[in-house]
Structure 1
Amino acid sequence: MSGKPKLCYFNGRGRMESIRWLLAAAGVEFEEVILETREQFEDLIRDGALLFEQVPLVEIDGMKLVQTQAILQYIAAKYNLYGKDLKERALIDMYVGGSTDLMLPFMYYPFIEPEKKEEHLNNVLDKAKNRYFPVFEKILRDHGKNYLVGNRFSWADVHLLEVILMVEEKCAGALTNFPLLRGFKTRISEIPTIKAFLQPGSQRKPVPDEKYVQTVKKVLKM
C-alpha cells in the first residue's frame, strides 16, 4: 500500500487546492481520487469517511481527515512549515486567515450567476488592491525579511503566493503598486518545490471551467 497521502475531491481547485499547494511546497508526493458522481460521494458517507458529509477528504498517516483548516494545520506542522513556537504559529494563522478571506470569493466566482459575475469580480479585486495587498505589503516592510514570519519559509508564504496568483489571473497588473509583494512573489516562486508545482504537467489545477462547476453541482446536488 502506498504511503502517499490520498486526496479525495473534484477534478478542480476548490477547497482542496490549498492542500495540494502545501503538500507540493513540502515536497510530498500525493495521490488523488477524483469525485465525478453522486454515487461516489454517497459511498464515502456510508463508509463513514466523511465526518460531516463534506469534502475535502485527505487520508494521511492512517487518518481520514476532513475540514480544510484542520488538514492544512496538520500538514504544516508535520512538514515544519508552521513556525518555531506558539507566537509564530499565531502569526501564521492570522496571515493565512487573511489570505483565505481574499481567496474564498475567487472560489465562489465560477458558481455566481452570469449577470452578477462582473460586479462580484470587481468587488473582490477592489478588496485585493485596497484592503488585503496593502496589509501584506506593510507586513513585509515592517518585518524586513524575505518571508512573512520569522526568517524561514512557512505555510503563510505558500498561501499568500497562491492567492496572489489567483488575483493576477483576473487582473495582471494587480501588484503594480506593491513592490515588496512583487519581490515576494518572485522569491517564493523560485523555491524548487514551488517552482516545480508551477510548471505545466504538475498536479496544480487550472482555472475552474464549466465542466468542473457542473460536476460539483451534480455531486453535491446544488
Structure 2
Amino acid sequence: MLRCAVFASGGGSNFQALLDRKQSGDLHVEFVLFIGNNSTAGAFERARKHNIPSVHLAPSHFPTEEEYTAKLLKLLQDYSVDLIILAGYMKKLPSDVVSLFRNRIVNIHPGLLPSFCGKKMYGIKVHEAVIEYGVKITGVTVHFVDEQYDHGPIILQEPVKVLDSDDAHTLAERVLKVEHGSYWRAIEAIARGRLRVEGHRVTGDV
C-alpha cells in the first residue's frame, strides 16, 4: 500500500476529506506522516485523532535551507514515504525534495491551471481574482509538483460554474466541495498505478 506523507499549513479540510475516504474504503493508501509548518494548524489535531505521527517543521527552525532540507529528507526516508500530498501547504518544497520525489508529490489548486496561479495566488486570493476578471468557469486542478509554483503535470481538472450572485467567499465554498470530491480520486489513481507521465502530460484513468 502506498505510504503517504501529508503537508498542511491550516485547518486541513482536504486532509480530513482524504481521511474520510480512507475510512470509507474508497482510498487505498496509508497515511504514515503529517508535517505542518504552523504549530497552531488545525490539521495537527486531525492527524492526532487518526494516530498519524506529526512533526512541526518549518524553514525558520534552521539556520540554513540546506539543514532544513536535510531534516525533511531524513523524515521522509525514516517513514519510507512513497507519495507527498500537499493539502493547503503554504511553503515551497526545496528543490532537492522535488527532484528526489519527481512525480511523487501532488497538490490541489482551487482554479483551472494555468490560469490564476503563481507564487501569491492561493486560497481566497484565487477566487477574488476569478470574480474580478469575470470568468464564467473556474474549478479545481490536481497536479504533480515541480520546481515552479502551480506548474507540474496536470492529473485531474473539474469545472465549477461562476454564478452571477457569487462573491469570492460563496465561490470558495463551492470550489472546496469539489476539491473534497476530487483529490482522493487522483491519489487513488496513483495508488492503483493507473497514471503515466510523459513530459508534461499525464494519461490514464482517474
TM-score (norm. length: structure 1): 0.30
**Which structure is higher in RCO with an 8 Å CA cutoff and minimum separation 6?**
1
The structure in which a higher percent of residues are helix is 1
* Larger radius of gyration between Structure 1 and Structure 2: 1
TM-score (norm. length: structure 2): 0.32
The structure in which a higher percent of residues are strand is 2
